[in-house]
Amino acid sequence: MTRSAARLLHGLFGLLACVALPVSAGGTPAALGVCVVEQNPPFSSRTVAPAGVDVEVAQAIAARLGRAVHWQWITLQERGGLGRALKESVQAGSCELFAGLPVTEGSDDDLSARGLVASQPYVSVGYVLLTPAASAIGSMAEVRAQKIGAVTATPADLYLLAGGFNRSPFAGSAALLEALAKGQLGAGLLWAGRVAGEALPAGLVVRETLQAPALQTRFVMVSRRSDTALTGAVDAALGALRGDGTLDAIATRNGLPPAIGRGGN
């Protein structure tokens, strides 16, 4: 980026931030209301350090806007899930941003119907290749005909099916890890967020982080479509945080494996 372009970006960010600055009764900028899932490591944690990617990114955005954060912690319900959480939080106006919405192709259609809009992604999480430590497999290219497991009906499972691998589907990640640890599989694909959130069983190692676009889940901030100034300011802040390395540092601090496309569009 040229020096003149950098000055232009800095000026644009400053303008957007000022436009999106509600003021409290005392004349200071009002706290930014952020809704976030209460306990979802490595993305959010109310009680355990590190606080999580979503929490740290929201804090960094607020700091760029010159605002403190007012947290609204969300407990996901079995019935309704994220859709219900969006409806009862940012869509209802109880917060300005919903942090940590996972998006895939077509997700924007649902948000639009709700009167909501997504920011640019601030982290993208894919799948990792796991094997027993003693295995000679070092990458997907070396799996060949060996049995490889994945959680059924996930992007990883569909990836293995489309690629003609000797796939073995499992009901959940715990069953997949148990089979790997017992030597019943040559390898397995597991979502990188699961690897970051919990320790792997002894004897299992990460061999490769897969970069296929079909395996990526991107995470965004969600705001109301009517809050155009805030939406623009959040995107400008995320652009600045990506440019200065803050987003990569946050992802690393929260245990996400290396070489993941961390803010890709």
Rounded CA separation 135/132 (Å): 5
More confident residue, 29 or 125: 125
How does pLDDT run across 138-197, given as a tens digit for each residue?
999 999 899 999 999 999 999 999 999 999 999 999 999 999 999 999 999 999 998 887
Task: Give me the domain span that covers residue 101.
Answer: 3-124+218-253
The pTM (predicted TM-score) of the whole model is 0.82
Q: What is the pLDDT of residue 257?
A: 63
Q: What is the pLDDT of residue 109?
A: 73
225 in any annotated domain: yes
One domain for residues 17 and 119: yes
One domain for residues 91 and 11: yes
Q: Give me the mean pLDDT over the 60-66 stretch.
A: 97
What CATH number should be reported for the domain holding residue 104? 3.40.190.10
166 and 148 Cβ atoms separated by less than 8 Å:
yes
How does pLDDT run across 5-53, given as a tens digit for each residue?
444 444 444 444 444 455 555 567 899 999 999 989 899 998 888 899 9
% the chain with pLDDT above 70: 85
One domain for residues 120 and 131: no
3-state secondary structure of 62: helix
260 in any annotated domain: no
Alpha helices in the chain (DSSP H): 3-19, 53-65, 81-88, 107-113, 155-162, 173-181, 192-197, 228-243, 246-253
49 in any annotated domain: yes
User: How many distinct structural domains can be found in the chain?
Assistant: 2
How does pLDDT run across 194-249, given as a tens digit for each residue?
888 778 899 999 999 998 888 989 999 999 999 999 999 999 999 999 999 999 99
One domain for residues 138 and 206: yes
One domain for residues 119 and 131: no
207 in any annotated domain: yes
